[in-house]
Structure 1
Amino acid sequence: MSGDLAMTALMGSPSLNEATAPDTGIIARATALIPLIEQHAEAGSEQRRVVPEVMRALEEAELLKIMVPRRLGGLGANLRTAMETIAEIGHGDGSTAWAAALLNVCTWFATTFSDQAQEEVFGADPNAHACGIFSPPLKSERVDGGYLVSGRWAYASGSFAATWGTLGIKLDVPEGQNPMALALIPASAWRIEPTWFVAGMKGSGSDTIVVEDHFVPDHRIQSFQDMVEGRYATSHKPDEQNSNMAFIPVAALILVAAQLGLARHAMDVTLAKLPPKNVAYTFYTNARNSTIHQVDVAEAATRFDQAELLMQRATADVDGAAAARVLLDRLTRGRVRMDTGIIGELVKDGIDRLMSANGASSFADANVLSRVWRDSEIAGRHALVMPQVGKEAYGRLLLGADEPLNIDV
């Protein structure tokens, strides 16, 4: 059966509904942790990493292996569940959600590698976690049986908790072929250099991984192009939905899950504190009666709703195609890449409106909205989330431009 026919056969069926629906039980685990996560958010920012108490709670709730197959000790949940779960973590703290997002998605990357590599990662440690960076290193030299790798990978979020890394390297390939690849490298082969001193997402532990002359065997390497086209090395594609998820859409979408949580947090704080607030330099004694404030909050709410709806459509596309065991078509992948940026844009704009509605005091260090705003501004500027690039790619695909895409989708 062709990919289109397989998808058509699955659409509207109970199996598709099950394949794309969120697992509310898993999401509820994250919701239950919001008070703990929020309690330690400021300490995480100060320590530049998620505090041990919160990491233990996430581990015990199994929320760092959401998309890992059950055969490897994971929850085996779909992308929609991962997005909703990480958003709830972000409802408590953006940095914690960002680290959880990267640990979840990079650990999922590891499950698409060769069976031998999967056994080496998860066989001895079912609680293995991977961080990851796509950019290539300084040195990637072909040697007998693999590659000798040295380099620095900056902004490796969650690296403090990772036992492996899915790190970008360059392959020795004929001219004209894409040399990019991902290599599985154990944490024992690297050191972490503290470089994450930034305005937002301070507690995500996005420091720099440094590797010196580490040998990576061929079975721990996957061509980036193979991954983009769904040609994963795992032998489990026939029997596992998540082994068929589209690589770039998953890698991009997961980055806005924290944004959705920040939006929820900002709205909760606003609805709790803004209505009775006096509006300075006006005759309004309660902001709830001020037309300007009503409009600002409504504008923010509808932007957040739009972001949630785009996420739901994108995850349904990814999970539906994976359930049908087909590669999501290129045009839809382009739309998902664009929608990822739009989600980030909508959330940033909505939070900005709430900051204005709440007034200048929102930017005080002691006000939680200040951290939410800073986290959102940083998260929305990740290279995979920048909306302009996604819009260009989707537009080229829609119009059938002569030039090839300048990004992977």
Structure 2
Amino acid sequence: MRGPRVAVLGAGIVGAACARELARAGLPVTVLERGGPAAATTAHGEGNVLVSDKGPGPELALARLSLALWPRILDEIAERRPETARAVEWDPKGGIVVAATDEGARELERFAAGQRAAGVTAEPLDASGLADAEPHLTRDVAAAVHYPQDAQVQPAAAAAALLADALDAGAELRTRCEVLGPVTRSGRLAAVRTSQGTVEADAFVNAAGPWSGGLAARLGAPVDVRPRRGEVLVTAPLPPTVFHKVYDADYVGAVGSDAEDLRASAVVEATRAGTVLIGSSRRRVGFDDRLRPEVLSVIAAKALRLFPCLDGVPVMRAYGGFRPYVPDHLPIIGPDPRLPGLWHATGHEGAGIGLAPGTARLLADLLLGRTPPLDPAPFRADRPAALGDPSPTGGAA
């Protein structure tokens, strides 16, 4: 045997990244996916690889690690599968954050100063520089900051590329394979019962995204990962109109909010196909997957304040998805001390696309006993926020 056998539970982008990292390290890997690869949360994202929305702290450290890894990984995949790598549509186009009010400008400038101190490139833009960078953006802006390190990928294609590279390295994929329950031996998770039979392994990685809380509870070690819903509008293809990922400074507050009701901010960016993606919203509504016209209206109105030129542009479609939310807004990465054999790689909320490579590297280093590139302690599975409220009315959702 080449090393510990690993079962990755989930084939979204985080699961795919973990499978690739572990398989490329020579471990026997089996990926169990209850539906199809990248068909749930990953397929309903925008493909963001961002540092601009993260203040100094462990998530920013993980984002910077991931940002460094993404181009290297794609170069490695391109050597074996050039068409697959091209389909990822890696676009280091940068981001621009704007504030519409003097108060918002002061907060944006304070936030950017903290990021610069943590190693992020955050360049103030004056009115002339902003007009050159985004000629169709409203001029009613109090402050703007350019983040040249921000990038974008096509999320489903990125996950497919990672998974294909894992399979090329010997990993096995089982789709339509739902995990039903645990098999423990001497207090250790030794196997999982699935809709396709029992699967044994030495380590099981919970990478089920918004469904990770329910899966962990089913295995006997619940974590407080809950679904948080977001919606996106997609316009018909346009001539070049938006050249960066552009969003208002309210986005950072919406990401960090604990509110259950709607939090929305303007996020506008183009794809290589010419469509414009318009977000974003955050709501805690369980797994209610209905599109709400009133939410889409709020998103559209905020986007029009940034780009009035979008008025009258046809919206081709709208979609929504669930993001894996943890109350302290940090992912859960690493072993679960309550149940040896169970590991977690989940809870990234809307940042899973960007954080997947760093998450996979951190998890693989911990699993293989290597020194990780950053402190894993903030992401541990037994921290209070990950375990949820221990009161009788609390617990994992």
If the TM-score is normalised by the length of the shorter chain, which range does it land in? Answer: under 0.3
Give the TM-score normalised by structure 1.
0.25
Q: Which protein is richer in helix relative to its size?
A: 1
Q: Which protein is richer in strand relative to its size?
A: 2
Give the TM-score normalised by structure 2.
0.26
Bigger relative contact order, structure 1 or 2 (CA pairs below 8 A, ≥6 apart):
2
